Chains A and B, each alone.
Chain A
Amino acid sequence: MATAMETIKKKTVRINGCVASAQAAKYADVDVIAAYPIRPYTATMMALAQMVANGELDAEYIVADSEHSQLSIAHGASSSGARVFTGSSGVGVQFAYELYSPISGSRMPVQMMIADRTLDPPGDFGSEHTDALSTRDMGWLMGWSCDAQEAFDNHLMAFRIGEDRRVLLPQMVCQDGFFVSHITTDVELPDPGQVKEFLPPYKHPYPLDPRRPVSHGPQIMPEQGPPLQLERARAMEGCMPVIEEIHEEFARIFGRRYDAWLEEYKTDDAEIVFFLQGGHAVTARFAINHMREKGMKVGMVRLRTIRPYPTERVCETLSRFKVVGVIETNMGLGSVSSGGSLYAEAAAALYESPKRPLIMSFMAGMGGEAIVLKEFYWMAQKMIDAQKRGKIEKRTHWVGFEE
């Protein structure tokens, strides 16, 4: 499905995260789009609808009657061998929950864009990562972008990774609602030739095709479950070198290099680091610069890919620092830290380290609130106090609600 873009060269446009995602789907020349609106990701589907309507993109655009149907359509379309793009936000992500395991279990590389939204109640449009994070163990590749450009790039890379014959897994490409989805920034759109070179046409090995019939998803015996689950685990672990390889390839073709797992910011001599994912990295960088001017040895480690979890890299990296402050932006009610879920995984990754840093969790950026400079200072102070004391005061702090 050739687009009219062939002759247009690389260009910079000013778009928000939602539209960047839509542009990525267009550059990936998706075959099927399964849509159902919910804020804040709606703008992505609006943009794609316009592209399909005006002939910019030749794709089946299917409006479902719910997120459950939306993901079912995506599953079916992918089973037939189509490249499928879908997306959702907040409670919409939850409503489709049943389909996450079947899609990954049948190894269908559906791509789903998430613009985070706080889960109800009551209705809150603001970004919180709990929606997508709640599906983190369902066998989907998952990671957060911190700005529109990265979102565009992550979408393209996720298609390439997920559709690789060595991987064949669905991908959740997440961005914070509003902080990324609705903030307009400069995004460099590539030359279609570059995309063509990077992303070959998708071909599933055993699609549903009457000419070569196969059965997908038959019933199995209990003892046939474990080997299939083991194969899924192998797929998730086995894709890690592929992810790194494709990030390299992306850098070669597009000239933008991302570390597949972690972004480090001013960590060379840092003693305390913020550990976070998503859009708050942008404000964190600003805060770190501000603190650095005051001589504070502070830095940031941003988790770019949470599934598969880069356990060894997190362990090695975070072990270099004295104190790690995890900024959650998600809810893990009653969890090990009684805070968010990022802490638990980071702490578990660090457990085998001979040089464990102190680690604490900050409930910040919740409900879509921005984390302001004053709060970064407050968190840094807690970390410095703990460093001095050699001991944390408590595992989780609710930022803005404590002295």
Chain B
Amino acid sequence: MSTKGTRIPEWLTVPFAGITPAPTQEKGQDLFPTGNWRSIRPVYRDKLPPCNNACGTNEKIQGYLDLVKRGKYLDAYALIKEDMPFPSVTGRVCYHPCETACNRGQYDEAISIRAVERFLGDLGQALQRDVVKPGKPNGKKVAVVGSGPAGHSAAYQLARLGYKVTILEKSPKAGGLNRGGIPDWVLPQDVLDREIERLIELGIAIKTNTEVGKDVSWDSLKKDYDAVVLAVGLTEPNSVRAEGENKQGVIYGLPFLRDIGMGTSKVKLGARVAVIGGGNTAIDCAREALRQGAVEVTMITVEGNPKEMPCVPEDLHDMLEEGVELIHGKAVTAVLGNGRVEALELHPAKFSGAINASPITINKDVAAEKFAVDNVIIAVGQHASLAWLPAEFKTERGSIKIDRFGRLGDTNFFAAGDIVQLGSGQPLMVVNAVGDGKRVAFNLDKALRGEALEPRKIAIDVIVDLNRMNMTYFPHFPRVKQDMLNPTSRKKTQDEVILAFTEEQAVEEAGRCFSCGTCNACDNCYLVCPEPCIARSDRSNGLYKILVDYCKGCRVCIEECPTGCLEGVPELDFDAGVVRMDTAFAISPGLHGRQAQELANLASRPAKEL
């Protein structure tokens, strides 16, 4: 008898035939620690999705799309509200750099993120009480000058941090550029009104008809408040420096839109209107002109073709659909007429490439061309009105001089939005101003607490390479299109042109999201692991756990991770949780014996119902 006198030590006692009790979610297979076979360890390492990175305020876009996908709309709304005070507004007006960056664009069509944001924003608007609450009062007072996107955002975040915030707005109505720069048919006034109400619900005081430099001074701001955020925006339209520009019938784009927005417009347009400029404001002006009664609207741009125009292509497309004509490569050199504009003198022109100085080269060797008009709307950018600002904080291009934290020198004044972003290379857009307001609010808070301020973070590991994901999990699927009003009827009304997603559309579109580089709890790793080495406590983000005592590093989960969140990290990079070959034995003495006992008891346990 060869087995006579043999003895199996207690710590190596194995259950009958190696049959083990069933693995559990918490402990996996809990018997044979095969983890020392591993040279690569799977690690959940979320990357930054390109949408989140491209967003001016770094909305957690992947996060809320994922929540929408699961029908958790309120959670999605709450998530968006962390970074964005008014998703109902940006859901309509944003130039969506997120969609431009969307990895899905490389694959079929970018996700219609803005439409989903609008869906969530409108959901938030319908709530009786907002999900956001003011912070515990800290007794400190902050003034925010300007109620446009940057001021709105800064005031919102500061209120959440517990500050007593007062917004000073020079116009009769709060909203700034959101109200005065965006036409009703893009952003209905009542939507904005509701967002302003939300600010008041947070305990923010809004003083309208209060202009810095006139009603309040630099010194009084300094005296009356612990800190100030200057978000005054760019309020003054640029001129085209053409002869006769002061004639009647010449209007500037921003005041044109602003007066309509504020309800104080007295403009009556003639039949023929020329719009000077090729940017987004010019497009809004051209389309608004149609709605204000113009019959023939012509846009005159220095840019040589539509592709060079610094605007959002969809808006250009929608404008052309409404019948606006384009003239390219021309500059206005004179406004002709007897007291009132009758025609424009146009010369061939192009951009010289020079920055800030005189960017346009006009060819006056060619005979001027006359273009008959009844009105001209000039929309070639805007600048600030900063007479009230101490000279030391002004830049040569007329914006506010700040450090990399958004602070004016060593004062408790901070500045945000277009007023600091002009000429910074960052496109001037609502979402960038919102992000700026948010970051400045956080730095203001740090300054008042005496903590170190933080510059804008540079993103590391933005996932843009589709090879880092497993594309076999993503069938091609077209973008869900937002319905729009018919161009012939819409161009005469202030009705919103682009229609909202239905719930079904929002869920379908959110479902197209790759969740680039980010775990979205798809359960694939949990399902494909050949042994139960992946434990799951709940089916929601980030709650998977690799049981490293058992994981053999087969890489199946890594390869099969659709989003590329799972990475294989060489085992040598770790100094904990590793069972090395030379120390290989049962994880704890007696484990096997315990398992053997558990198996023996199995028969006496009641059978679970199937």
Contact = CB atoms under 8 A, between A and B. Distances in A.
B19 to A, nearest CB: 5
A169 to B, nearest CB: 11
B32 A106 contact: no
A217 B33 CA distance: 14
Contacts of B592: 224
B18 A230 contact: no
A297 B2 CA distance: 36
Contact of B21 (A168, A209, A214, A230): A214
Given A205-B603, A234-B6, A212 B608 contact: yes
Given A233-B2, A234-B6, A214 B610 contact: no
Contact of A228 (B18, B34, B605): B18
A206 B599 contact: yes
Interface residues of A, number: 31
A214 B34 contact: no
Given A224-B14, A228-B14, A211 B22 contact: no
Contacts of A213: 21-22
Contact of B18 (A168, A220, A233): A220
Nearest to A217: B18
A216 interface: yes
Contacts of B23: 215
A217 B584 CA distance: 20
Interface string B1-41: 11100101000111011111111000001011110100000
Contact of A237 (B1, B36, B608): B1
Nearest to A208: B19
Given A105-B17, A205-B603, A231-B14, A219 B3 contact: no
B605 A206 contact: no
Interface residues of B, number: 36
Contacts of A2: none
B32 A219 contact: yes
Interface string A308-328: 000000000000000000000
A220 B610 CA distance: 29
A184 to B, nearest CB: 41
A221 B13 contact: no
A140 B3 CA distance: 17
Interface string B589-601: 0001000000100
B531 interface: yes
Contacts of A234: 3, 6
B552 interface: yes
Given A206-B599, A223-B12, A227-B8, A211 B20 contact: no
A221 B3 contact: no
B602 interface: yes
Contact of A221 (B21, B34, B603, B608): B34
B35 to A, nearest CB: 10
Nearest to B584: A221
A107 interface: yes
A206 B18 CA distance: 11
A277 B34 CA distance: 44
A210 interface: yes
A398 B382 CA distance: 111
Interface string A94-127: 0000000000011100000000000000000000
9 contacts: A210-B608, A210-B610, A211-B609, A211-B610, A215-B22, A219-B34, A224-B32, A227-B8, A227-B14
Interface of B: 1-3, 6, 8, 12-14, 16-23, 29, 31-34, 36, 531, 552, 584-586, 592, 599, 602-603, 605, 607-610
* For the complex of A and B, 9 pairs with smallest distance between CB atoms: A213-B22, A211-B607, A107-B17, A220-B32, A234-B3, A215-B20, A227-B8, A227-B12, A206-B19
